């Protein structure tokens, strides 16, 4: 689906949807509490029906109904869902069959394949895992994705014996591990960090039933702040200034890019990459390091953003772990070619910020349903002009 956006100034009160990071984790904790406490029905309140959340709900249903390792877990396009549920299914059902899009399977579960004693059978649209998760000592790399670490914390927490998980440095996106531990504690399950990157998970813990609510999402709020950086006047509401979400630094980075050339490391906040690249291209340029992990996101975000930003007249050079962005010499130009969303929700939203400044047509806007259904409808109410 395509959308053509005219230059627009947005005004009014705006808020981001619930945090996917919290929502996924709270849903899992709630499901484990329900399984361990029959007859209870803890709720996670205020969720939107984004594709990622629907994937987690589908996998929870599969987990609850599972009779063993032949259960099918439909992960759709959600990397976090896949990586969270593999250790849980191994712990409770000795594995399972995890289905998803070709891109999701390509992104894979390499850290589990390296670290766990199980058989992993891949096809174009599935990964079959055969093997159980047992208490013990595990070591995992911390520089691929924190989702693997969170998945292991969930899986080890439902075992009867004690375990220790050592995460090798550097530990990237550490804030997401902290969010996992915070959600587990809300349900009465404790994880102790004996020293940096060494997590002790006691066996035999029980998730206590509790209603919960995901806080607003700083990752998506970044796009609202970006509109303001480009001249809109949005009053952004509902965010927790004391949140554990690492992406709350978005406002600081966007302000720095609007004031001058940016030097930003994205190792801990890879989800901010598309919107920061977009604002750098529109404003004063920048050099962004720590981009290696962008290759295993919904798209290869450095490569695809380079392709799209150059349609606006910017220049981008990609190195092994850096990208250099030079803004268009005479300011953003309206692209002559249709912009490609690359089936990546954050790419589509980043391009929408630039189109609100210069105009343009984006193909593949349905990708926003992954994290923010109704994104364009909400922006229309704030003054975004499109058809």
User: Concatenated DSSP letters for 51-109?
Assistant: HHHHHHHHHHHHHHH--STT-EEE-TT-HHHHHHHHHHHHHHHSEEEEE--HHHHHH--
Q: What residues does each domain of the chain span? A: 2-17+217-386, 20-201
Answer CATH for 20-201 from 3.40.109.10, 3.30.2080.10, 3.60.20.10, 3.65.10.10: 3.65.10.10
Let me know: does 373 contact 48? Beta carbons within 8 Å.
yes
Q: 31-42 burial, b for 16+ CB within 10 Å, e for fewer?
A: bbbbebeeeeeb
**What is the per-residue pLDDT for 329?**
86
Q: 192 exposed, middle or buried (CB, 10 Å; 0-12, 13-18, 19+)?
A: exposed
Token pair belonging to 333:
């130009």
Q: Distance (Å, rounded) from C-alpha 332 to C-alpha 312?
A: 5
Cα–Cα distance list, 56 to 20, 108, 247 (Å) = 10, 17, 22
| Sign of the alpha-carbon dihedral angle for 253, 339, 9, 219 | negative
Token pair belonging to 163: 């375990």
Across residues 178-202, what is the average pLDDT?
A: 97
Q: Are 2-17+217-386 and 20-201 in the same CATH fold?
A: yes
How confident is the model at residue 123, as a pLDDT?
A: 97
Q: What is the mean pLDDT of residues 38-64?
A: 95
Q: Catalytic residue positions? A: 271
Average pLDDT (236-258) is 97
Distance CA 291, CA 320 (A): 8
Whether residue 170 has a cis bond before it, omega within 30° of 0: yes
Judge: domain 2-17+217-386, CATH 3.40.50.150: no
Residues 6 or more apart from 242 whose CB is under 8 A from it?
Answer: none
Phi/psi at 48 (nearest 5 deg)?
-95, 160
Query: Over the stretch 135-179, which tens digit does the pLDDT of each residue have?
Result: 999 999 999 999 999 999 999 999 999 999 999 999 999 999 999
Strands, E assignment, 190-259 = 191-195, 198-201, 212-213, 233-237
**Tell me, what's the pLDDT at 69?**
95
Categorize the per-residue pLDDT at 376 as very low, low, confident or very high, splitting at 50, 70 and 90.
very high
Per-residue pLDDT band at 63 (split at 50, 70, 90): very high
Beta bridge partner(s), residue 235: 13
Q: How many helices and strands, by DSSP H and E, does the chain display?
A: 13, 20
């Amino acid at each position: 689906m395509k959308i053509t956006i005219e230059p627009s100034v947005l005004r009014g009160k705006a808020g981001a949807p619930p945090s996917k990071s919290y929502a996924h984790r709270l849903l899992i904790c709630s499901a484990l509490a329900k399984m361990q406490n029959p007859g209870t029905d803890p709720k996670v309140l205020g969720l939107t029906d984004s594709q990622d959340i629907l994937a987690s709900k589908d996998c929870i249903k599969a987990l609850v109904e599972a009779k063993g390792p032949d259960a099918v877990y439909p992960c759709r396009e959600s990397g976090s869902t896949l990586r969270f549920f593999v250790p849980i299914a191994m712990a409770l059902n000795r594995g399972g069959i995890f289905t998803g899009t070709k891109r999701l399977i390509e992104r894979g579960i390499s850290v589990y394949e390296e670290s766990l004693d199980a058989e992993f059978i891949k096809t174009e649209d599935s990964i079959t895992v055969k093997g159980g998760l047992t208490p013990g000592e595990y070591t995992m790399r911390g520089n691929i994705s924190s989702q693997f670490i969170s998945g292991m914390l969930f899986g080890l927490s439902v075992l009867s014996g004690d375990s220790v998980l050592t995460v090798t440095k550097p530990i990237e996106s550490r804030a997401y591990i902290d969010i996992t531990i915070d959600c587990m504690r809300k349900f009465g399950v404790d994880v102790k960090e004996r020293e940096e990157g060494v997590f002790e998970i006691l066996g035999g813990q029980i998730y206590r039933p509790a209603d919960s609510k995901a806080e607003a999402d700083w990752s998506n709020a970044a796009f609202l702040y970006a509109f303001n950086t480009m001249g809109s006047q949005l009053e952004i509401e509902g965010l927790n200034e004391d949140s554990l979400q690492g992406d709350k630094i978005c406002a600081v980075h966007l302000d720095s890019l609007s004031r001058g050339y940016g030097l930003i490391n994205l190792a801990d906040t890879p989800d901010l990459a598309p919107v920061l690249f977009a604002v750098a291209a529109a404003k004063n340029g920048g050099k962004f390091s720590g981009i290696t992990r962008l290759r295993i996101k919904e798209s290869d975000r450095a490569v695809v953003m380079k392709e799209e930003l150059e349609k606006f007249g910017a220049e981008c050079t990609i190195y092994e772990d850096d990208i250099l962005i030079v803004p268009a010499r005479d300011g953003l130009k309206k692209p002559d070619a249709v912009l490609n969303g690359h089936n990546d929700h954050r790419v589509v939203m980043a391009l929408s910020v630039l189109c609100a400044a210069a105009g343009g047509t984006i193909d593949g806007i349905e990708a926003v349903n992954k994290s923010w259904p109704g994104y364009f409808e909400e922006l229309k109410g704030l003054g975004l002009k499109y058809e």
